[in-house]
C-alpha cells in the first residue's frame, strides 16, 4: 500500500530547488538564442538600410548632375561658380571667392524646393527629392578655342559639374566634366531617328556630296547608292560621297554602308587625312525584311535584321577609323530635347517680328501637291517672308530694334537674304522656296549680280566652291559692326530656321531658286538683239565686260522690234498672243525705245536699272501667272542658262553659274518622317521637298523643268531633325524630283552668334565621371 | 508511521536523467541555432565580400569612357547562364580618360592630346593552373596611355581583386528590347569556406558606363 501513497518528500517545498535550476537553465539558453538572433537580424537590417541610403544618395547626386545639364541646355549662360585650372595639380578647382554675377534662372519648384543656396554663401544650388537632398555646382572650364577643330568652339563647351546627394547621414558625391554639344552648330546632319544619307534616283550617274564635320543618327546611320525601289532591286543610280568628315556617330545603333562608298576623313592631331573606300557593311540590307507590319516597312521602320546591330569594321581599316566611325559602343548618345516654341514666341512679341501682326503680310493660299494639304486640298495657308536679294526688293520690314526673332503660328515661305542674324520660327512648316542667306557685295565687280559661285571644275564635279569664294563666307567671322561695309562685307548671317513640323526645300520656282544665275543671261539675251552675240556675251557675262549696249538705238521702231524679238524668245507669258502680258511686252518695248532713243547705245547703269526695275520684275510676275506653261519666258531663260553652262568647265572671270539653289543656315525641324520611307539603299523615300515633279504640275505648283543633273541644291550649314512631333500627319503622294545635293558644313557656325542660344538645343556628353563617398561636413560646406 | 524525509536514489536518478535529457535537447537546439546563425553570418559575409567587389568594379566601369571592342562577350539572358568562367573571352577591358585642361590647345603638339588614358582589364585565372576547374583569382590589370595615345608599358600593373571565386562571368545582354541592353552585366558566385563548410553567394548586376569615347 505504501507504494501507492505519495511520499512526504513530494511536497512543494521539497522540489523548489530543481525547478529554479531548470527555469534558470532554460532562460539562459533562450537568452543566448534571442540575443544571437537579434544580433544577426539587426546586422542585416542595418546593412540593408545603409545600402538603400547609399543608393538613394547616389541617385540624388545624379539628379543634381541632370538638373545642371538640363538648365545648361536651356540657358547657355548658366553658371553657379567659376572654375580655376590648377596647372600644378593638373586639375579643375572651384573658385569659391569669385561667384559669377548673375541671377539664378531656375524657378523655385514646390516639388523640389529648388533654389540657390544663398544662406551659406557657397553659391551651390540645392533641391529635395523624397527624403533626400542634393546640391550641385556648375562652372565653365576656361579653355581656349582650338583653331584646328572647325566645328567646335572649345572655349564654350566644357563644364565642371559637381553634385552631392544626402539621405540621413549618408552622402555620395559625383564629380564630372561634361561637354555641351549644339547639334545645329556642330553637326552637318543630325537626326534623332535613323540618319539616312540615301538620296537620288535609279539609273542616274550623279553624285551627292556631304562635306565636313560630324554626322549623327540617334538610332543608326545609313549611307548608300540607290539600288532598290520599294525593297526590290532596281537599276543602280545616284551615289553618295563624303569628304572632310570629322566623325560619323550613331547614338544607339550601327553605321551602315550599303555598298562601297568613298569617304575622306580630315586630318586631326596625330591622325593624317585618310581617304578610304568604306566596304559594304557585313550586315546587308534585306529585301522585304522583317517588319512589325506592312505599314512599318513603308514608314521608315528599321527591319529586325539590322535593328540595334552594329556592323564590324574590317581589321584593315580599324586604325584609320579609330575615333572617326563611332557606333553605339562609343557611348556618344545625344538627346537635345526640342525647341522651346513658347519662349521663342515671347521673344518675338518683345522686340521681334510676328508676320500675323503685319497687316501688309496676310496669309496666302500656297499651292502644294496632293497629299500635303489637309482635307485633300491643294494649298496651305502661309505667309511669305521674302527678304529680298541684290536683284529684287523683299516684302519684310523688320522693326527698328529688331531682336532677331521672327515667329509665326502659320506656315512660312522664306527666301532671299536676311539683313542680320535671325531666328525664323514657325509652329507649322517652313518652306525654303529659293536662295536663302547668301549676299553679294555689289561694290565688287565680280559680285555684281550674286555671290561668286565658282568651282574648280564645275558644280556637278567639284566638291565645293573655289577657295576664294569659300573665304568670303569664312571671313564673315571678322566682319565689323556694319555688315554692309563694302570693305568688310558680311556675306551670310547666323540664320536659324526652326519648324515644329517640317522644313521643306521647295524647288518649284526657277525664278526664286536660280534668279542670280538667270538674270545675267537675261541681260545677255536682250543685249544680243542689239549687238553681235560675242560682243553681248563679253559685255554682259564677263567681269571684263563694260555692261553697255553698244548700238545705234535712234530708230525707235527698230528698237521696239528688237525688244519684240526678245519677247518672242522669252515671253512674259507664253506662246499665246491673246493674253494681257502681250500688251505689257509692248509697253516695256515702248519704254525702252523712248528712254534710250540715241545712237550712243545704253550705259551699264541705265541698262542695269531697266533690267532690274522693268524687265526682270515683269518676268517674275509672268512666271507666277503661267507656272504651268512650258513656253513661259522664265523656263526659256532657264533653258538658255543650261545651254551656256551645262557640261562646261566653270570659269571664274564670268557671271555664268550653274543652276544652284543656295540655302545657308541651321535648319531644324520636329516632324516625323513622311508616308513613304523605305529604309536601305532605296529610291522610295520621301524627304521634305517639293518641286519639279509631274505631281507638282498636276497640282498647279509648277513644272518639272529640269533633271536632277541640271541643278544643285547647296545647303551650307546644318540640318537637325528632332523627330519630336509624333502627331504630325504624314505626307502622302510624291511631291518632288531630287536635285543633286551638296550638303556642306559651315565652319563659322560654332562662333557665329553663340551668345543667346535660345534657338539652339544642346545635348551633353560626359567626358569624365568620378563616384565618391563623402562625409556629412562636406555636404554642409558644399 | 515514521515520516520519510529526502528522496530516494531512484528519484534522484530519474530527476538527473530528465534534467540531462532536457539540457541535452536544449543544447542541441541551441547548438543547431548557433550553427545556423553562423552559417547565415558566414554566407552574409561571403555576400558582403562579393558586394564590395561588385561595388569596386561598378565604380570602375561607371567611370570608364568606352569598352574595348568585343569585350565582354554578348549573350542573351538565357545564354548567359551557359557562359563559362574559364572561357578565354571572359574578360572586360575598358578605357578611363583623364583630361588635362591646363594644357591649352595652342601649346599642344600636332600629335598631342589634352588627355591620357588608362586601360583597365578584369580577367580571371585559375588558382591552380593544373586543375580542370576553379576556383579562380580575379585580376585587375592596368595599362596607361600617354598624351600621344601611346602605351606606357613600363607602367603596366596588375593586382588581385579577389581569390577563391567559383564563378564570375562578364557579358553584355544581346537583347535590344531589354532595358539594360548594352549595359555590362556581371554574374558571380563566391564560395566562403568556414570551418563548418562552404557558403555560396551569387550576385548579378548591370552597369552602364557614364563617359564617352574622346573625339
pLDDT tens digits along B59-100: 898 899 888 878 888 888 788 888 899 999 999 999 999 999
Report the pLDDT value the prediction gives residue B5, as an integer from 0 to 100.
Answer: 66
Residue located via cell numbers 520656282: A509
User: Strand A232-233 and strand A228-229: pairing?
Assistant: antiparallel
Three-state DSSP class for residue A156: helix
Residue located via cell numbers 564617352: B212
Is A329 close to B67, i.e. CB distance below 8 A? Answer: yes
CB proximity list for A189: less than 8 A, separation 6 or greater? A195, A197, A210, A215, A216, A718, A719, A720, A743
Q: For the segment A526-572, what is each residue's pLDDT rounded down to a tens digit? A: 999 999 999 999 999 999 999 999 999 999 999 999 999 999 999 99
Is A769 close to B62, i.e. CB distance below 8 A? Answer: yes
Count of alpha carbons within 13 angstroms of residue A224, beta-carbon side? 26
Distance CA A408, CA B69 (A): 48
Distance CA A322, CA A247 (A): 10
Residue located via cell numbers 500675323: A356
ipTM more than 0.90?
no
Report the pLDDT value the prediction gives residue A191, as an integer from 0 to 100.
Answer: 96
Tell me if chain B has a CB within 8 Å of the CB of A267.
no
Q: How distant, in Å, are the alpha carbons of A192, A375, A514 from that of A726? A: 12, 19, 35
User: Strand A207-217 and strand A187-191: pairing?
Assistant: parallel
Helices assigned H by DSSP within A136-230: 183-186
Is A767 close to B97, i.e. CB distance below 8 A? Answer: yes
Distance CA A714, CA A589 (A): 37
Q: For the segment B99-111, what is each residue's pLDDT rounded down to a tens digit? A: 999 988 888 887 8
- A376: exposed, middle or buried (Cβ count in 10 Å: 0-12, 13-18, 19+): exposed
Distance CA A174, CA B1 (A): 93
Tell me if chain B has a CB within 8 Å of the CB of A628.
no
For the four alpha carbons of A161, A164, A165 and A170, in that order, the dihedral sign comes to positive
Q: For the segment A174-191, what is each residue's pLDDT rounded down to a tens digit? A: 999 999 888 888 899 999
Q: For residue A256, report the phi and psi dihedrals to the nearest 5 degrees.
A: -110, 130
Report the pLDDT value the prediction gives residue A4, as an integer from 0 to 100.
Answer: 45
Residue in chain B closest to A252 (alpha carbons) equals: B182
Q: For the segment B2-54, what is each residue's pLDDT rounded down to a tens digit? A: 556 677 888 888 888 988 998 888 888 778 878 877 777 777 787 788 888 88
For residue A208, how many other CB atoms are within 10 A of its CB? 23
* Nearest alpha-carbon partner for A760 in A330, A404, A387, A419: A404
Residue located via cell numbers 519666258: A633
Is A269 close to B59, i.e. CB distance below 8 A? Answer: no
Is B212 close to A141, i.e. CB distance below 8 A? Answer: no
**Number of helical H runs and strand E runs in chain B:** 2, 8
Distance CA A370, CA A299 (A): 18
Q: Could you tell me which residues are beta bridge partners of residue A549?
A: A602
Report the pLDDT value the prediction gives residue A377, as an integer from 0 to 100.
Answer: 78
Q: At what angle do helices A515-527 and A616-625 cross, to 10 degrees?
A: 120
Cell output for A744: 556642306
Q: How far is B125 from chain A (nearest CA, A)?
A: 27
Is B69 close to A329, i.e. CB distance below 8 A? Answer: yes
Report the pLDDT value the prediction gives residue A8, as an integer from 0 to 100.
Answer: 46
CA A376 to mean position of chain CA atoms: 30
Q: How distant, in Å, are the alpha carbons of A191, A225, A731, B123, B153 from that of A229? A: 23, 12, 19, 49, 54
Q: Select from A154, A269, A768 the Cβ nearest to the Cβ of B98.
A: A768
CA A520 to mean position of chain CA atoms: 33
Domain total of chain B? 1
Q: How far is A175 from chain B (nearest CA, A)?
A: 10
Distance CA A559, CA A549 (A): 12
Q: For residue A167, report the phi and psi dihedrals to the nearest 5 degrees.
A: -130, 115
Distance CA A665, CA A439 (A): 13
Tell me if chain B has a CB within 8 Å of the CB of A269.
yes
Got the DSSP string for B46-82?
Answer: HHHHHHHHHHHHHHHHHT-SEEPTT-S-EE-HHHHTT
**Residue to substitute from A58, A270, A313, interface B, most B β-carbons within 10 A:** A270
This prediction's pTM: 0.84
Distance CA A704, CA A248 (A): 35
Asked, for residue B137, whether it belongs to a domain, the answer is yes
Q: How far is A146 from chain B (nearest CA, A)?
A: 5
Q: For residue A421, report the phi and psi dihedrals to the nearest 5 degrees.
A: -60, 140
Integer-rounded Cα Rg, in Å, for chain B is 29
CB A702 within 8 A of CB A693: no
Question: Residue ranges per domain, chain A?
Answer: 48-99+106-182+764-780, 350-473+490-513+665-674+686-763, 516-645
Asked, for residue B156, whether it belongs to a domain, the answer is yes
Asked, for residue B119, whether it belongs to a domain, the answer is yes
Q: At what angle do helices A633-645 and A616-625 cross, to 10 degrees?
A: 110
CB A686 within 8 A of CB A742: no
* Nearest alpha-carbon partner for A355 in A378, A379, A380, A386: A386
Q: Which residues of chain A have pLDDT under 50?
A: 1-14
Tell me if chain B has a CB within 8 Å of the CB of A331.
yes
Distance CA A210, CA A239 (A): 11
Q: Select from A9, A22, A307 the Cβ nearest to the Cβ of B6.
A: A9
Cell output for A473: 563666307
Q: Select from A36, A85, A145 the Cβ nearest to the Cβ of B34.
A: A36
Q: How far is A168 from chain B (nearest CA, A)?
A: 21
CB A192 within 8 A of CB A725: no
Integer-rounded Cα Rg, in Å, for chain A is 35
Cell output for B152: 606606357
Q: Would the pLDDT of B192 be above 80?
A: no
**Number of helical H runs and strand E runs in chain A:** 16, 31
Range of the domain at B102: 45-207
Three-state DSSP class for residue A208: strand
Got the DSSP string for A219-272?
Answer: SEEEE----EETTEE---B-EEEEEEEEEEEESSS-EEESS-EEEEEPPBTTB-
Q: Could you tell me which residues are beta bridge partners of residue A268?
A: A271
Q: How far is A270 from chain B (nearest CA, A)?
A: 4
Cell output for A335: 538627346
Amino acid at each position: 500500500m505504501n507504494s501507492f501513497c505519495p511520499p512526504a518528500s513530494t511536497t512543494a517545498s521539497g522540489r523548489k530547488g530543481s525547478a529554479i535550476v531548470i527555469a534558470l537553465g532554460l532562460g539562459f539558453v533562450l537568452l543566448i538564442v534571442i540575443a544571437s538572433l537579434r544580433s544577426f537580424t539587426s546586422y542585416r537590417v542595418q546593412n540593408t538600410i545603409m545600402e538603400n541610403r547609399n543608393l538613394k544618395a547616389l541617385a540624388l547626386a545624379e539628379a543634381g548632375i541632370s538638373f545642371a545639364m538640363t538648365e545648361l541646355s536651356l540657358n547657355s549662360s548658366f553658371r553657379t561658380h567659376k572654375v580655376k585650372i590648377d596647372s600644378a595639380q593638373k586639375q579643375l578647382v572651384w573658385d569659391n571667392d569669385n561667384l559669377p554675377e548673375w541671377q539664378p534662372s531656375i524657378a523655385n519648384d514646390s516639388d523640389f524646393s529648388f533654389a540657390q543656396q544663398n544662406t551659406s554663401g557657397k553659391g551651390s544650388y540645392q533641391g529635395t527629392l523624397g527624403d533626400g537632398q542634393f546640391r550641385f555646382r556648375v562652372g565653365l572650364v576656361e579653355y581656349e578655342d582650338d583653331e584646328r577643330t572647325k566645328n567646335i568652339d572649345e572655349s564654350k563647351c566644357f563644364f565642371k559639374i559637381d553634385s552631392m546627394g544626402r539621405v540621413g547621414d549618408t552622402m555620395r558625391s559625383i564629380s564630372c566634366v561634361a561637354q555641351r554639344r549644339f547639334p545645329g552648330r556642330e553637326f552637318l546632319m543630325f537626326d534623332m531617328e535613323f540618319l539616312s544619307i540615301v538620296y537620288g534616283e535609279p539609273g542616274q550617274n550623279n553624285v551627292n556630296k556631304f562635306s565636313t564635320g560630324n554626322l549623327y543618327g540617334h538610332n543608326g546611320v545609313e549611307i548608300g547608292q540607290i539600288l532598290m525601289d520599294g525593297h526590290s532591286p532596281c537599276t543602280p543610280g545616284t551615289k553618295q560621297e563624303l569628304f572632310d568628315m570629322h566623325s560619323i556617330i550613331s547614338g544607339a545603333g550601327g553605321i551602315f554602308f550599303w555598298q562601297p562608298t568613298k569617304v575622306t576623313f580630315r586630318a586631326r592631331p596625330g591622325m593624317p587625312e585618310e581617304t578610304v573606300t568604306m566596304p559594304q557593311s557585313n550586315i546587308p540590307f534585306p529585301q522585304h525584311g522583317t517588319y512589325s507590319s506592312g505599314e512599318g516597312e513603308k514608314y521608315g521602320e528599321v527591319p529586325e535584321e539590322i535593328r540595334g546591330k552594329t556592323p564590324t569594321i574590317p581589321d584593315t581599316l580599324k586604325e584609320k577609323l579609330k575615333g572617326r566611325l563611332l557606333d553605339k559602343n562609343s557611348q556618344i548618345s545625344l538627346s537635345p530635347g526640342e525647341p522651346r516654341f513658347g519662349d521663342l514666341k515671347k521673344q518675338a512679341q518683345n522686340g521681334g517680328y510676328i508676320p500675323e501682326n503685319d497687316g501688309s503680310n496676310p496669309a496666302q493660299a500656297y499651292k502644294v501637291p496632293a497629299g500635303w494639304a489637309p482635307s485633300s486640298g491643294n494649298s496651305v495657308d502661309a505667309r511669305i517672308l521674302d527678304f529680298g536679294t541684290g536683284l529684287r526688293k523683299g516684302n519684310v520690314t523688320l522693326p527698328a530694334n529688331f531682336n532677331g526673332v521672327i515667329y509665326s503660328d502659320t506656315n512660312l515661305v522664306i527666301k532671299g537674304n536676311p539683313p542680320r542674324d535671325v531666328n525664323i520660327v514657325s509652329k507649322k512648316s517652313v518652306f525654303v522656296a529659293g536662295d536663302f542667306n547668301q549676299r553679294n557685295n555689289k561694290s565688287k565687280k565680280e559680285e555684281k549680280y550674286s555671290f561668286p559661285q565658282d568651282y574648280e571644275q564645275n558644280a556637278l564635279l567639284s566638291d565645293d566652291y573655289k577657295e576664294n569664294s569659300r573665304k568670303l563666307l569664312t571671313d564673315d567671322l571678322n566682319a565689323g559692326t556694319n555688315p554692309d561695309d563694302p570693305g568688310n562685307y558680311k556675306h551670310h548671317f547666323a540664320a536659324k530656321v526652326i519648324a515644329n513640323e517640317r522644313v521643306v526645300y521647295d524647288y518649284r520656282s526657277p525664278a526664286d531658286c536660280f534668279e542670280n544665275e538667270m538674270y545675267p543671261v537675261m541681260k545677255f539675251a536682250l543685249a544680243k538683239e542689239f549687238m553681235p552675240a560675242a560682243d553681248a556675251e563679253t559685255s554682259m557675262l564677263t567681269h571684263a565686260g563694260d555692261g553697255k549696249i553698244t548700238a545705234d538705238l535712234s530708230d525707235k521702231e527698230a528698237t521696239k522690234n528688237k525688244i519684240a524679238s526678245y519677247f518672242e524668245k522669252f515671253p512674259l507669258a507664253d506662246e499665246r498672243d491673246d493674253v494681257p502680258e502681250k500688251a505689257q511686252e509692248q509697253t516695256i518695248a515702248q519704254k525702252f525705245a523712248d528712254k534710250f532713243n540715241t545712237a550712243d547705245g545704253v550705259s551699264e547703269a541705265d541698262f542695269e536699272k531697266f533690267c532690274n526695275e522693268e524687265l526682270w520684275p515683269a518676268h517674275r510676275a509672268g512666271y507666277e501667272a503661267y507656272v504651268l506653261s512650258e513656253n513661259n519666258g522664265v523656263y526659256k531663260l532657264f533653258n538658255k542658262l543650261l545651254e551656256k553652262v551645262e557640261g562646261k568647265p566653270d570659269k571664274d572671270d564670268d557671271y555664268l553659274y550653274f543652276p544652284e539653289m543656295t540655302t545657308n543656315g541651321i535648319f531644324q525641324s520636329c516632324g516625323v518622317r513622311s508616308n513613304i520611307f523605305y529604309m536601305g539603299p532605296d529610291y522610295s523615300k520621301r524627304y521634305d521637298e517639293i518641286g519639279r515633279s509631274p505631281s507638282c504640275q498636276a497640282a498647279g505648283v509648277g513644272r518639272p523643268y529640269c533633271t536632277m543633273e541640271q541643278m544643285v541644291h547647296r545647303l551650307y550649314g546644318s540640318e537637325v531633325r528632332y523627330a519630336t512631333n509624333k502627331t504630325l500627319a504624314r505626307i502622302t503622294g510624291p511631291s518632288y524630283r531630287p536635285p543633286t545635293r551638296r550638303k556642306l558644313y559651315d565652319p563659322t557656325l560654332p562662333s557665329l552668334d553663340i551668345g543667346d542660344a535660345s534657338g539652339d538645343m544642346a545635348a551633353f556628353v560626359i567626358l569624365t565621371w568620378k563616384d565618391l563617398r563623402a562625409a556629412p561636413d562636406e555636404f554642409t560646406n558644399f | 508511521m515514521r515520516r520519510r524525509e529526502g528522496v530516494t536514489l531512484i528519484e534522484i536518478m530519474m530527476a538527473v536523467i530528465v534534467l540531462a535529457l532536457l539540457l541535452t535537447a536544449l543544447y542541441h537546439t541551441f547548438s543547431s541555432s548557433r550553427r545556423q546563425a553562423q552559417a547565415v553570418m558566414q554566407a552574409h559575409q561571403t555576400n558582403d565580400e562579393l558586394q564590395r567587389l561588385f561595388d569596386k568594379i561598378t565604380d570602375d566601369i561607371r567611370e570608364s569612357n568606352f569598352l574595348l571592342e568585343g569585350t565582354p562577350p554578348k549573350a542573351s539572358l538565357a545564354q548567359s547562364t551557359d557562359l563559362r568562367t574559364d572561357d578565354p573571352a571572359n574578360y572586360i577591358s575598358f578605357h578611363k580618360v583623364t583630361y588635362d585642361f591646363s594644357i591649352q590647345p595652342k601649346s599642344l603638339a600636332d600629335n598631342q592630346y589634352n588627355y591620357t588614358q588608362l586601360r583597365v582589364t578584369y580577367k580571371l585565372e585559375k588558382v591552380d593552373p593544373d586543375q580542370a576547374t576553379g576556383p579562380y583569382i580575379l585580376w585587375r590589370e592596368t595599362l596607361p596611355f600617354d598624351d600621344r595615345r601611346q602605351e606606357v608599358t613600363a607602367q603596366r600593373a596588375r593586382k588581385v581583386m579577389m581569390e577563391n571565386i567559383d564563378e564570375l562571368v562578364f557579358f553584355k545582354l544581346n537583347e535590344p528590347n531589354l532595358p539594360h541592353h548594352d549595359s555590362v552585366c556581371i554574374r558571380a558566385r563566391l564560395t566562403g569556406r568556414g570551418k563548418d563548410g562552404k557558403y555560396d553567394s551569387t550576385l548579378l548586376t548591370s552597369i552602364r558606363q557614364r563617359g564617352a569615347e574622346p573625339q
